[in-house]
Amino acid sequence: MPEIKYILCPVDFSKCSQRALDYAVGMASLLGAELHLVHAYVDPVASIPFGRTNTWPPAAVPEEVAAATKERAQEVQKLQALCEKHGVTNTVREVEGEPRSVICKIAKDDNADLIIMGTHGRTGAARALIGSVAERVVGTAPCAVLTVP
């Protein structure tokens, strides 16, 4: 088995991503590997639901953007605390961009040995319309990928 010294774990703060992080923390601890977390997100303005601001195109409400930024920062602090609690060396990065591209680029640039990520388990129409980030990462990642349902 190849030596695993660098594990990349994408997080989106969902329950599914938390389960994957639990695996990643355990595996990093067991193997003595570094754990690198990445949260890829889209532009906060682009993620504001249509019609919410009653303008076209939708305008960013500064309070909503600030609230989203603050919430992300709080979630990142929780992730760091979890890793520290288990004695796992970690870094947390927030990167704006399409998640599959961000995850695969970081894995390639940093020579990751393993990606551990959650799958949301979408099926049927939701999967056809939205697609699966995990499935696309598995198909394009430069290293092994462990998916956690």
- What average pLDDT does the chain have? 80
pLDDT at 83: 75
Strand, coil or helix: 6:
strand
The winner for highest mean pLDDT among 18-27, 64-73, 113-122, 130-139 is 18-27
Angstrom CA distances, 138 to 68, 86, 93, stand at 29, 27, 21
47-87 pLDDT tens trace:
545 444 555 555 566 777 777 778 878 887 887 777 777 77
Strand, coil or helix: 112:
coil
Average pLDDT over residues 111-134: 72
Domains of the chain: 6-148 (3.40.50.620)
Percentage of residues in the chain having pLDDT higher than 70: 80
Lowest-pLDDT range of 5-9, 19-23, 119-123: 119-123
CA distance 14 to 98: 17
